């Protein structure tokens, strides 16, 4: 045993993260660093839970984002070619769920399908059921068993793995089926970090959920302490221009800050 250092095995699922970052560097994403006052929404969710509905904040956030994307579907469109976009009518949202495999906690990908048609409660229960799913060391996705071809991916050299991503992204219908048309990562919810993390993605639109912190906010000329959520949004400038992007962000802000669509059980 060496006293100066030791080795730690990298989980296989991290290999895909390396490839996504590499391919994501080539995307023409515009980064938006935003703050949302979620005081009212969190209060409504707490009231809802007191009535017996087990709606999580993350489950509701998936619903909020899906509903606004359904209103602005061009934000989650794929570039089909230089003259045409392909816009999917349903929102399939990719998220990461932390699972314990062996002695390690590793992020496992999960695609929530047709989230614009589901309630926040249904989405919450789907995520909870996925967290309780038993996995082996060979599984790389939730909700379904990994195919032999998918497991071989991790044995390939880097240039071949990245070539697979390029081929898949060149066929939007395959990409939509495998990874959805939007991704939400909530690594910032793990602690209290006063800032934003700039992530990378291969999706048309990506949401990096940060921490919720209490901050002073001016409301009606008075300074009040509010619960503020930090979020980074990446939008592909190849599929959406500035003005539609601003309209999408305005609607997202209204939805998240008012919690207008949070209803009883």
How far are the Cα atoms of 160, 193, 196, 211 from residue 214, in angstroms, in the given order? 46, 11, 15, 10
What pLDDT is stored for residue 139 in this prediction? Answer: 52
Residue 119 is predicted with a pLDDT of 92
Write phi, then psi, for 52 (nearest 5 degrees). 110, -5
| CATH number of the 13-258 domain | 3.30.559.10
- pLDDT at position 92, please? 96
Instruction: Annotate 100-117 with DSSP letters as a single string.
Output: EETTEEEEEEEEE-SGGG
Reported as type and span, the H/E element at residue 64 is helix 57-71
Each residue's pLDDT tens digit, 75-92: 999 999 888 999 999 999
pLDDT tier for residue 144 given thresholds of 50, 70 and 90: low
pLDDT-derived band at 232 (thresholds 50, 70, 90) equals very high
User: What's the pLDDT at 188?
Assistant: 65
Reading the block at residue 67, the tokens are 């509903």
Cβ pair 219, 227 in contact under 8 A: no
Binned at pLDDT 50, 70 and 90, residue 130 comes out as confident
pLDDT digits (tens, 9 = 90+) for 45-54: 999 889 888 8
Q: Is 63:123 a contact under the CB 8 Å cutoff?
A: yes
For all residues of the chain together, what is the average pLDDT? Answer: 86
Phi-psi domain of 221 (left: phi exceeds 0; alpha: psi -120 through 50; beta: other):
left
Cβ density class 90-110: b for 16+ within 10 Å, e for less: ebbbbbbbebebeeeebbbbb
Q: Where are the beta strands (DSSP E) in the chain?
A: 29-37, 78-81, 84-86, 93-101, 104-112, 182-185, 205-219, 222-236
Question: The pTM is what?
Answer: 0.85
What confidence tier does 244 reach under pLDDT thresholds 50, 70, 90? very high
pLDDT tens digits for range 168-218: 888 999 999 989 999 999 876 666 778 888 888 999 999 999 999 999 999
- pLDDT over 80 (residue 31): yes
Q: Which of 139-148, 190-199, 206-215, 256-265 has the highest mean pLDDT?
A: 206-215
């Amino acid at each position: 045993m060496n006293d100066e250092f030791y080795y730690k095995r990298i989980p296989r699922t991290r290999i895909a993260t390396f490839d996504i970052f590499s391919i994501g560097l080539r995307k023409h994403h515009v980064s938006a660093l935003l703050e949302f006052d979620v005081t009212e929404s969190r209060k409504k969710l707490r009231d809802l839970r007191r009535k017996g509905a087990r709606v999580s904040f993350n489950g509701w956030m998936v619903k909020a984002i899906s509903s606004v994307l359904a209103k602005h579907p061009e934000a989650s469109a794929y570039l089909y070619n230089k003259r045409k976009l392909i816009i999917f009518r349903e929102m399939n949202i990719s998220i990461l769920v932390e699972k314990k495999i062996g002695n390690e906690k590793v992020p496992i990908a999960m695609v929530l399908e047709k989230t614009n048609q589901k309630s926040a409660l249904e989405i919450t229960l789907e995520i909870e059921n996925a967290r309780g799913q038993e996995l082996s060391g060979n599984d790389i996705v939730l909700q379904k068993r990994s195919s032999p071809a998918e497991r071989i991916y991790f044995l390939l050299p880097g240039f071949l793995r990245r070539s697979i991503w390029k081929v898949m992204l060149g066929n939007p219908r395959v990409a939509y089926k495998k990874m959805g048309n939007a991704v939400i990562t909530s690594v910032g919810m793990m602690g209290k970090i006063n800032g934003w993390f700039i992530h990378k993605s291969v999706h048309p639109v990506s949401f990096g959920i940060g921490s919720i912190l209490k901050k002073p906010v001016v409301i009606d000329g008075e300074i009040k302490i509010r619960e503020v959520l930090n979020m980074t949004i990446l939008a592909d400038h190849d599929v959406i221009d500035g003005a539609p992007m601003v309209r999408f962000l305005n609607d997202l802000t209204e939805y998240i800050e008012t919690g207008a669509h949070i209803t009883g059980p």
